[in-house]
Amino acid sequence: MTILTFSALVFIGSIVAGLLGALTGLGGGIVVIPMLTLLFGVDIRYAAGAALISVIATSSAAASSYVRDGYSNLRIGMFLEVATTVGAVLGALLTGHLRTTTIAVIFGVVLLVSAALSLRDHAPADPNEPADPLARRLRLDSDYPTPQGRVAYHVHGVPPAFGLMFLAGGLSGLLGIGSGAVKVLALDRAMRLPFKVSTTTSNFMIGVTAAASAGVYLSHGYIDPGLAMPVMLGVLVGALAGAKVLARAHSQALRVVFAVAIGAMGVQMIWNGVRGVP
């Protein structure tokens, strides 16, 4: 395979990854890494480095549209980034001390857990139920647009969400995924936000988290510009398309796409890790 063919195939695959990442709030990295490692045989550390660059592009492209349309909750995003950024730096520092097969198994487990939890329905928060006291002090409550007009919501579970975000940051630094999977689950489950608010706020956050991790990967030499460029451009195109589709998409359909895609990749990543395939 020539370099031109390889770059073209990676670019096309990254478009799909960016589209899925924007629709689900995962960030394209969670699809890019299995694609590069399983289909193209790229070392998972270099795949993670390229994915982190693509995650920054995804967040920059999709998040601006979501903020403009009023979906993202900026106060929640900025508050929780304190936890994710610290976790991301610590996770990235661990990367050089773990075998690639170990990282692959951890990555696969994270995907499977995220897929299973995303399919579990949860009762929507009662709009009359008071918000978390800490959420009131931080003024995290907001509203978001729907076809029937803007709908207000309360924020719950701020302390557990903050802890989950630290874990999300650690996984981002270790795996190069932007930790969108855990972030969506923390926002969706712990804070009980509307799903579209969760996904869009996650997209807003993942760029900052990925930037914190990318610096460590760059210092270790795990970011290859020749690989990162087609990945970044492809994810950017897909993310822009995904931002336009999200407003018309149904939340349950997004959950199913999320679960099926990352569940299948999770099984394959674990299988390769157990077999010792780098």
The per-residue pLDDT for range 55-78, each reduced to its tens digit, is 777 777 667 777 888 888 889 988
pLDDT at 215 (0 to 100): 81
- The listed range with the strongest mean pLDDT (14-28, 93-107, 227-241) is 227-241
8 pLDDT band, cuts 50/70/90, is: very high
pLDDT at 193 over 80: yes
Phi, psi of 204 (to 5 degrees): -65, -35
Residue 179 confidence (pLDDT) above 70: no
Model confidence at 249, in pLDDT bands (50, 70, 90)? low
The pLDDT tens digits for 131-162 are: 678 888 888 988 888 888 888 888 888 998 99
Average pLDDT score over residue span 85-96: 83
Q: For the chain, what percent of residues have pLDDT higher than 90?
A: 8
**String of DSSP letters for the chain:** --HHHHHHHHHHHHHHHHHHHHHHTS-THHHHHHIIIIIH---HHHHHHHHHHHHHHHHHHHHHHHHHHT-S-HHHHHHHHHHHHHHHHHHHHHGGGS-HHHHHHHHHHHHHHHHHHHTS--PPPPTTSPPPHHHHHHT--EEEEETTEEEEE----HHHHHHHHHHHHHHHHHH-STTHHHHHHIIIIIS---HHHHHHHHHHHHHHHHHHHHHHHHHTT---HHHHHHHHHHHHHHHHHHHHHHTTS-HHHHHHHHHHHHHHHHHHHHHHHHHT--
Question: What mean pLDDT is reported for the chain?
Answer: 80
Domain ranges of the chain: 3-275
